[in-house]
Structure 1
């Protein structure tokens, strides 16, 4: 299974991510939202029994992509 943590997705921003998690509340909110959605997706994908619908999982994946894009744009703008 592929990992989608923010630091894995953007290794070139690892130091900046660590710094912003401490110093920037807007970034921290985006980061936490992304990690929560990602953890939920991983939970559903790893489970032997999938307790969600394909539509719900697709919606979660779309949300993760949207949050990833927001985070990337935020990291590039600072």
Structure 2
């Protein structure tokens, strides 16, 4: 098994799993962004796990996009968490 962490939204925000699921089903923008985030995380972890040759620039671009999406998704989670509290 790999030591590369899985950065799924459910793993990174375990207290918000139900809200994440709700947002994925009710908010098309959140769902699209979450799907893109999942795909980027899969790509990044795949490159890290298999040591597939890629340029440092490409690898950093993927990681930065993943981080940017996570920040946006977290802001949406936090905003909706406040509404449901």
Cross-structure match for 1:28:
31
For structure 2, the 5+ residue unaligned runs are: 81-85
Aligned equivalents of 1:19, 1:44: Cα separation in 2: 30
Answer with 1 or 2: which has the greater Rg.
2
Shift of 1:51: 2.7
1:41 aligns with 2:44: yes
**Normalization by structure 2: what TM-score?**
0.84
1:69 maps to which of 59, 68, 71: 71
1:20 Cα deviation after fit = 1.2
Show structure 1 runs of 5+ residues with no match.
Answer: none
SS of match in other structure, 2:68: helix
Q: CA deviation at 1:43?
A: 1.1
Does residue 8 of the first structure (1) align with residue 11 of the second (2)?
yes
Runs of 4+ in 1 over 2 A off after TM superposition: none
TM-score, structure 1 normalization? 0.91
Residue number in structure 1 paired with 2:83: none
